Amino acid sequence: MAKIIHSMVRVLHLDASLQFYADCFGLLPAHRLDFASFSLVYLRNVENDAEIELTWNRDRTEPYTHGDGYGHVAVCVADAVADRARLLALGYSPLDIKEFKADDGTLIARYFFIQDPDGYKVEVLERHGHYQ
C-alpha cells in the first residue's frame, strides 16, 4: 500500500509562507534542504505524519499560476468558528464559515477557506464525522 507523505506547493516569498503556515496551522519546518538555486522546506506539526513541502526557487520573480487544476489542501480543527476568529485577530482574511448539510438537514461539515501568500486555497474543516 502507498502512504501519502507530502503535497508540494511552489512559493514566491518563502519567509511569508513560513509565517503563514506557522501562524495559521502550527506547521513548522521538520526538514529543510537548501541548494544553490532552490530550497525545499517540509512543514508539519505533532498531529501530522503527512507534510506540506514548500518549494522556493530563488531566481523566481513572477507569481506562480495555479491553472484550473489546483483545488485546495484541507486541515481540520476542533472549532472552526474559534479558529476563524483567531486568524482574523492575527490579521489574516479567512472567508466566511459555511455549513454543508445532507438533504435531511444533518450537518456534514462546517468549514471556511483561507488563502496562503501565494494564493493557494486551504480549507479549514471542523472535526466532525468524516473530517477528523
Query: Is 47 part of the annotated catalytic residue set?
Result: no
Boundaries of every domain in the chain = 1-60, 70-132
Q: Tell me the C-alpha distance between 110 and 83, whole Å.
A: 12
Q: Using one digit for the tens of pLDDT, what is the confidence trace for 54-98?
A: 999 999 999 999 888 788 999 999 999 999 999 999 999 999 999
Q: Which residue has the higher pLDDT, 1 or 117?
A: 117
Of 47, 51, 53, 123, which is the active-site residue?
123
- Encoded amino acid at 105, one letter: G
Instruction: State the alpha helices, DSSP H only, in the chain.
Output: 14-25, 80-89
Cell numbers placing 73: 489542501
Mean pLDDT value of segment 104-132: 95
Q: Name the CATH superfamily, with its identifier, for domain 70-132.
A: 2,3-Dihydroxybiphenyl 1,2-Dioxygenase, domain 1 (3.10.180.10)
How many other CB atoms are found less than 10 A from the CB of residue 51? 20
Rounded distance between C-alpha atoms, residue 132 and residue 128, angstroms: 6
Same fold, 1-60 and 70-132: yes
**pLDDT for the residue numbered 122:** 96
Return the CATH superfamily for domain 1-60: 2,3-Dihydroxybiphenyl 1,2-Dioxygenase, domain 1 (3.10.180.10)
Residue 127's pLDDT band (cuts 50, 70, 90): very high
